[in-house]
Chains A and B, each alone.
Chain A
Amino acid sequence: MILPIGPIHPALKEPIRLKLQTEGEKVVKAEVEYGYVHRGIEKIIEGQTWQRGIYLSERVCGICSYEHTQTFAETIEKICGVIAPPRAQFLRVITNELDRIQSHFLANSTFFKSLDHETLFMQVLELREYAMDSIELLTGNRVNMGWNVVGGVRMDADERHFKPILENLKKIEEGFERTREIFAEGPALALRCKDVGVMTKKEAIKGRAVGPIGRGSGIKHDYREDHHTYQDYFDFKPIWRKEGDNYARTLNRFDEIPESISLIRQAIENIPKGNIRIPVELKSGYAQWRNEAPRGEVTYMIETNGNLIKHITIRTPSIPNIDSCAKYMIPGVPSVADAVSTYASSDPCIACAERVAITDEHGKTTLKKYGEVM
């Protein structure tokens, strides 16, 4: 039988419809129906000036909103042929890693909630609040930060910001050890996680899985390795695992958090003095830029005409991840409850995913995924 889940359902945070084809308890096929949160954000940004565009690109996704502004700013900096001053780059790294910490904690807490493990859900959310505090302290807002601008960042930071951030990081580390241990060694959790929702490396490449989902299946690549700031100033190595099940994906996200904390420590220790923003003279042109968002690679393709954005295409990591989740992870899971937790382990963000709509000649609007349009 076909079992529909969603769009509003106790198991889901965001509106999406999962159609599960079941044989007895076993799920044999899954299908994802998009289209509930399509707002046309790319079309809104087109024709706007870039100064406004950077605040609009923040509204593509509320969880990884920071990475979108950074990618937008760096794309336009590439068009203009400038690079932000080193102090701004360091401040960007600090915010970026704080954002990654809170996003990974949120993704894991959602996974634990889908397993009905309330204890871990609460503990992880409590740790996340420290990261949110640091973000609010540094940038002035919790979610949509308005922190980046083309050519640098908006506000400087000094000791009175760095000290509380380091204290918060220490608090995160204290709680983190135990939380990770409960998950990694708890036998009841292992029964629900290990060998459930397995995606092999071959399938991950076929489904174009990126970010922690791809790295949980053995793809050893992190786009931070290709970024000039990380290459020049930071000591960093990507985390990956080869099992490819729910356990590996969740643990991979957990293990990336100490790496992020160490990056923030390095940044605060070695932060250079100087400007935090340079004036940029706008040029017309086209550029493409990639960055590693908490969920994987995010690509911006922007064409500008003087002060205005002529065309913009955004590729977010959620689409290949949700797609490979429905194609390779969910088929074969032992029960419907496991299908929901597998879906949660792929860290879906629907607000990221829905941007393209196609209207046919009869006036009927259908929503398409990125790959189908190109």
Chain B
Amino acid sequence: MLDSIKDIVRKSSIHVCIVNCGGCNGCDVECVALLSPRYDLEQYGIYVHNNPREADVLLLTGAVTEQWTTNLKRIYDKAPEPKIVVAIGNCPQSGDVFNQEGGHVYAPASNFIPVDAAVPGCPPRPSEILEAILAVGPQAIADRGREEK
């Protein structure tokens, strides 16, 4: 009984933390555009608050740079369970254009922390990000909550 109520509540209140681990800023800007009245992220019960301590969803952008090779795991550990990681854009998936000779990145991000979902694009449109978060977010969080027990 309590579990099912928890599931419902969890589904409709998601806190998001954007972690930029070394990208060109484009994906972060599109995440900020999601807050605008046009897309209105908050009507789905999603609240962007850049605090890993209270985050349910980590939005990961950027190819992993040298400083983040150690810090990414630390941030992931600080987020409370249950948590999911959504990789926004190409950088966390493949390193994008930075993953070539001369580049200073350690992509993909899944080498460091488990990534649950990925949105391709450089950068993806806000509607694509929104679709991905809504498709994977609530259900995954509810499932994770059950696994814990």
Taking Cβ atoms with an 8 Å cutoff, the residues of A that contact B are: 7-15, 35-41, 43-47, 55-56, 58-63, 65, 106, 109-110, 121-122, 125-126, 128-129, 132, 142-144, 349-352, 357, 365
Partner of A60, one of B24, B101, B104: B24
Partner of B102, one of A43, A125, A352: A43
Is B49 engaged at the interface, CB distance under 8 Å to the other chain? Answer: yes
Contact A47-B101, Cβ < 8 Å, known A13-B32, A14-B25, A37-B22: yes
Measured CA separation A61–B102 after assembly (Å): 18
Taking Cβ atoms with an 8 Å cutoff, the residues of B that contact A are: 17-30, 32-33, 35-38, 49-52, 62-63, 65-68, 71, 75, 96-98, 100-105, 122-123, 125
Partner of A62, one of B36, B38, B123: B123
Check B20–A37 contact: CB distance below 8 A.
yes
Measured CA separation A132–B39 after assembly (Å): 13
**Which A-B residue pairs are the 8 nearest by beta carbons?**
A62-B26, A43-B102, A125-B36, A62-B25, A40-B104, A351-B25, A37-B22, A143-B26
Q: Is the interface of B mostly helix, strand, loop or mixed?
A: loop
Measured CA separation A109–B27 after assembly (Å): 17
Check A10–B122 contact: CB distance below 8 A.
no
Check B97–A44 contact: CB distance below 8 A.
yes
Measured CA separation A9–B17 after assembly (Å): 9
Measured CA separation A40–B102 after assembly (Å): 7
Q: 27 pairs across A/B with beta carbons < 8 Å?
A: A8-B17, A8-B50, A13-B32, A14-B28, A36-B20, A36-B21, A36-B67, A38-B22, A38-B67, A39-B65, A39-B103, A40-B105, A41-B98, A47-B102, A60-B24, A62-B26, A62-B123, A65-B24, A106-B29, A121-B35, A125-B32, A125-B33, A125-B35, A126-B38, A143-B26, A351-B24, A365-B66
- The number of inter-chain residue pairs (CB within 8 angstroms) is 134
Contact A8-B19, Cβ < 8 Å, known A13-B28, A129-B38, A351-B24: yes
Check B104–A129 contact: CB distance below 8 A.
no
Query: How far is the CB of B119 from the nearest CB of chain A, in Å?
Result: 14
Measured CA separation A341–B104 after assembly (Å): 32
Contact A39-B28, Cβ < 8 Å, known A7-B71, A44-B103: no
Check A129–B63 contact: CB distance below 8 A.
no
Query: How far is the CB of A26 from the nearest CB of chain B, in Å?
Result: 26
Contact A61-B25, Cβ < 8 Å, known A15-B20, A43-B103: yes
Nearest residue, chain A, Cβ from B75: A8
Nearest residue, chain B, Cβ from A142: B125
Contact A8-B98, Cβ < 8 Å, known A15-B21, A37-B23, A143-B123: no
Choose among B29, B49, B51 the residue with the greatest number of A CB atoms under 10 Å from its CB: B29
Measured CA separation A216–B75 after assembly (Å): 37
Nearest residue, chain A, Cβ from B51: A10
Query: How far is the CB of A38 from the nearest CB of chain B, in Å?
Result: 6
Contact A122-B21, Cβ < 8 Å, known A44-B100, A143-B29: no
Using A8-B52, A125-B37 as known contacts, list a sample of 11 further A-B pairs with CB atoms less than 8 Å apart, ordered by residue number in A: A10-B50, A13-B20, A14-B20, A37-B21, A37-B23, A40-B105, A56-B97, A58-B24, A63-B29, A122-B37, A129-B33
